[in-house]
Structure 1
Amino acid sequence: MKTRKIIKKILLLLFLIVVFIPIYAFKIEPRLSVVHHIPLSYGEAKTELKVLQLSDIQVSESYQVNRLTKIVDKVNQKKPDIIVFTGDLFDNYSQYANETEIIQQLKNMQATIGKYAVWGNHDYGGGAANIYRYVMNSADFTVLQNDGETIDVNGKQVFIGGLDDSLLGNPSVDATLSYRSQVDYSILLTHEPDVADDFIGTDTQLVLAGHSHGGQVWLPFYQVTNVLAKKYTRGLYTLADGTKLYVNTGIGTTSVHARFGVIPEISVFEITF
């Protein structure tokens, strides 16, 4: 008799799990967001710089623009010096687009020094290539495409460079770094993380990437990976020469519009150099 009750309880528990997981993955976790703080120190570490990274918003019918309001609020609460966006603003531009509202949401993000963005593969597809730069520029983002600029931070020089998308664009590390002269700290933006190895040996301190979605659906026995996001999938890595790479798991979703074990992420780098 006790055995039957135990079996019934186990079956009920399994049933609830089977029902709850899809509801959580499709309806709850994609609407959450977490802020990760990553302290980084380099050299004499006397100057402070706060860089906030967003990636892979993937605006679509499944992630409509009004959901960005909470993200904007969290971004502004952190009072970043610099905001960077590492690509994939759209999921499929030809099926869902609302440029006016997107521009306003992105424009509401405040940074004391500047806002920068690079291209993602989805920003080229479905007609997005014709509008991406306009949208980002209208929202006060400087779009970097194999180029960069040097900014002054309390008397120290910081280079912000951006690589073109490595799947659908024409990326060039040499062209990007040709914009850099003598600086104290270098930050390079790329959509796809696995190309970060191309910056090894270039005296680059930090590479920021997205694209992977951290697998988007995490299972202990199976890790989903994307092209050019198989080696580096999520979080902080130290490359062969000491360069730091951070792979942001993104805000939105693609293909299957669910997240499980990979909560949408805002990453904040508290850099001292």
Structure 2
Amino acid sequence: MPARVRMMLMLFIFVCLQAYAGWHLKLFIGEWLNLGGAAFEAVFWPLYVIVAFGYLFSRLLRKRLPGPVVLTWKRAGAYWVAVFEYAVVLLPFADLAAWLLRALSISNADAILYVGSAVIVLMLAIMLRGSWNAWSPIVREYAVAIDKPAGGLKELRIAVASDLHLGTTVGRRHLDRLVRRANALEPDLMLLPGDVLDDDVEPFVRFNFGDQLAQIKAKFGTYAVLGNHEYYGGGIDIYVKAMHGLGIPVLLDETVTIGDGVYLIGRKDKTDRDRASVAELTAVLNDDKPRILMDHQPSAIREIAGAGVDLSLHGHTHRGQMAPNHWITRRIFELDWGYKQFGSLHAFVSSGFGTWGPPIRIGSRSEILFITVRFGCQ
């Protein structure tokens, strides 16, 4: 099936599912408030479209509308993304429950109110739990050994935070959580494997997020790479220049040496068709020194292992962010979350520190990885 036809089909299904969720909401509000008729429909459906497609519309119209309007619209639309996903999951069961109640001689109106109320309670519980998961970061600790000498280094303690998605949803408060938790770990090295930005560089500059990031203290400094969202929003030159000015290099197919004994390779994101291959990046490196690589999307782990990299760090997947989306990321990526060894490569994929769209996580957590790497071990 051609890509354009597949996209149109997906869009059609998405619109149909939105109509399905909207129809149920209309039924519940109508019974609850005793509303109905053409006048109610004429008000309900335009308002529903404004909210249901708010995240998309607010992005498209952000330069034509006042900032507070765009921000409010975007946040409402973002939360609706989560509500819509779980509505699609819950409503078929709600329809079955309503049918059973009607079969037990309960009136249609009462069945709608009973089942609709139960769905709303479940939805609120999901949103509350998901919000807690998103705003309450956890530190996941690992220890690995690399059988290579690293100069005078016996071990390297690395803190990793991918997918910050700093912007109008994830802001200073959550970033402060990262700074405090990272500094409490006292890492030797702080790494940011992509999607520091949530599309647009403007909030990063306006809210001085870089100044907050620079408060993270690590013996060998903080380094970042680009993710797909930095490419989507544009302004990469502004972002990279700002980060360098703060002493946080953004590695663009570049390698630096940490402590005179460990190579740190930063690869451009897969979105950039001109990025170098891993083999090209490692060809000039000494095979006897440990190699650590950041590559935002975990789509080339086998290639990375084949190029003799010892440890790789990735993000991008969010572990689906909201279950059951993790079933999809598992099928797309050989490793979509956690740790796995591929030959001599120790590969890590983080679920990320921030969120895309709704600040909701179900089946995933906001996380920081803290990896202790020991060198010269048998």
TM-score, with length taken from structure 2:
0.62
Deviation at 1:198, TM superposition (A): 1.1
For residue 98 of structure 1, what is the aligned residue in structure 2? 205
CA distance in 2, matches of 1:15, 1:100: 35
Equivalent residue for 1:264, pick from 366, 370, 374: 366
| C-alpha spacing 1:168/1:258, structure 2 compared with 1 (3 Å) | farther
Deviation at 1:21, TM superposition (A): 0.8
Equivalent residue for 1:161, pick from 257, 265, 277: 265
Deviation at 1:206, TM superposition (A): 0.4
The structure whose residues are more often strand, as a share, is 1
CA distance in 1, matches of 2:326, 2:162: 23
Unaligned runs of 5+ in 1: 1-10
Deviations 1:179-208 (A, max 9, x none): 522443110110011212211222211011
Deviation at 1:44, TM superposition (A): 7.2
Matched, 1:202 2:307: yes
Equivalent residue for 2:356, pick from 232, 254, 257: 254
For residue 6 of structure 1, what is the aligned residue in structure 2? none
Matched, 1:191 2:296: yes
2:157 maps to a residue whose letter is K
Q: Which has the larger radius of gyration?
A: 2
Matched, 1:23 2:125: no
Matched, 1:139 2:246: yes
For residue 50 of structure 2, what is the aligned residue in structure 1? none
2:256 partner SS:
strand
> Is 85-94 or 130-139 further displaced after alignment?
130-139
Higher relative contact order (CA 8 A, sep 6+): 1
CA distance in 2, matches of 1:204, 1:196: 10
1:124 partner SS:
helix
1:272 maps to a residue whose letter is R
Equivalent residue for 1:176, pick from 271, 277, 281: 281
Q: Is the 8 A contact 1:103 1:138 kept in 2?
A: no
CA distance in 1, matches of 2:341, 2:348: 9
Equivalent residue for 1:214, pick from 319, 328, 331: 319
Deviation at 1:84, TM superposition (A): 0.8
Q: Is the 8 A contact 2:201 2:238 kept in 1?
A: no
TM-score, with length taken from structure 1:
0.84
Paired-residue identity, %: 24
For residue 49 of structure 1, what is the aligned residue in structure 2? 156
- Structure 1 outlier segments of 4+, above 4 Å: 11-16
Deviations 1:138-178 (A, max 9, x none): 3321221112022336xxx2110011111235321233214
Q: Is the 8 A contact 1:29 1:263 kept in 2?
A: yes
Deviation at 1:233, TM superposition (A): 0.8
For residue 223 of structure 2, what is the aligned residue in structure 1? 116
Count of paired positions: 258
